[in-house]
Amino acid sequence: MKTTDLTTPTTLVEAIRYFSDPDICLKFMVALRWPHGVECPQCGSDKVTFLANARLWKCHTKHPRQKFSVKVGTIFEDSPIALDKWLAAIWMIANDKNGVSSYEIGREIGVTQKSAWFMLHRIRLAMQTGTFKKLSGQVESDARNMHKWKKEKSIKGRGTAGKAIVMGILERHGKDTVSRVRAKVIHSTATPTIEKEIREAVEPNSELFTDELSSYAGLDKEYTHRVINHMEAYVKGNVHTNGIENFWSLLKRTIRGTYVSVEPFHLFRYVDEQSFRFNNRDDDNAARFATVLSAVTGKRITYKHLTGKDRPASFTTPA
Q: Which stretch binds Zn ion (CB under 5 A): 5-13, 41-49, 153-161, 233-241?
A: 41-49
Note whether 61 binds Zn ion by CB under 5 A.
Answer: yes
Query: What is the closest distance, in whole angstroms, from the C-beta atom of residue 64 to Zn ion in the complex?
Result: 10
3-state SS, residue 49: strand
Note whether 40 binds Zn ion by CB under 5 A.
Answer: yes
Closest to Zn ion by CB, 54 vs 260, is 54
Note whether 11 binds Zn ion by CB under 5 A.
Answer: no
Note whether 49 binds Zn ion by CB under 5 A.
Answer: no
Closest to Zn ion by CB, 61 vs 214, is 61
Residue type at position 243: G
Number of residues that bind Zn ion (CB under 5 A): 6
Query: What is the closest distance, in whole angstroms, from the C-beta atom of residue 58 to Zn ion in the complex?
Result: 9
Residue type at position 284: D
- Give the dihedral of Cα atoms 193, 198, 199, 204; nearest 10 deg: -150
Q: Report 151-170 residues binding Zn ion (CB under 5 A).
A: none
Q: Report 272-301 residues binding Zn ion (CB under 5 A).
A: none
Q: Which helix (H) or strand (E) holds 171?
A: strand 165-171
* Sheet with 138-145, edge to edge strand ranges: 180-186, 165-171, 138-145, 207-210, 224-227
Residue 225: strand pairing partners: 208
Query: What is the closest distance, in whole angstroms, from the C-beta atom of residue 56 to Zn ion in the complex?
Result: 13
Of 316, 314, 246, nearest in space to 36 by CA? 314
219, 195 Cβ separation under 8 angstroms:
yes
Note whether 45 binds Zn ion by CB under 5 A.
Answer: yes
Give me the half-sphere count of Cα atoms (radius 13 Å) on the Cβ side of residue 160: 7
Query: What is the closest distance, in whole angstroms, from the C-beta atom of residue 83 to Zn ion in the complex?
Result: 22
Q: What is the CA radius of gyration of the chain?
A: 22
Closest to Zn ion by CB, 29 vs 59, is 59
Note whether 81 binds Zn ion by CB under 5 A.
Answer: no
**Candidate residues 59, 89, 194, 262; the one interacting with Zn ion per rule CB under 5 A:** 59
**Candidate residues 43, 72, 82, 213; the one interacting with Zn ion per rule CB under 5 A:** 43
Query: What is the closest distance, in whole angstroms, from the C-beta atom of residue 43 to Zn ion in the complex?
Result: 3
Query: What is the closest distance, in whole angstroms, from the C-beta atom of residue 164 to Zn ion in the complex?
Result: 46
Distance CA 226, CA 75 (A): 43
Residues near 80 by Cβ (< 8 Å), separated by ≥ 6? Answer: none
CB 37: neighbour CB atoms within 10 A?
A: 13
Give me the residues that bind Zn ion (CB under 5 A), please. Answer: 40, 42-43, 45, 59, 61
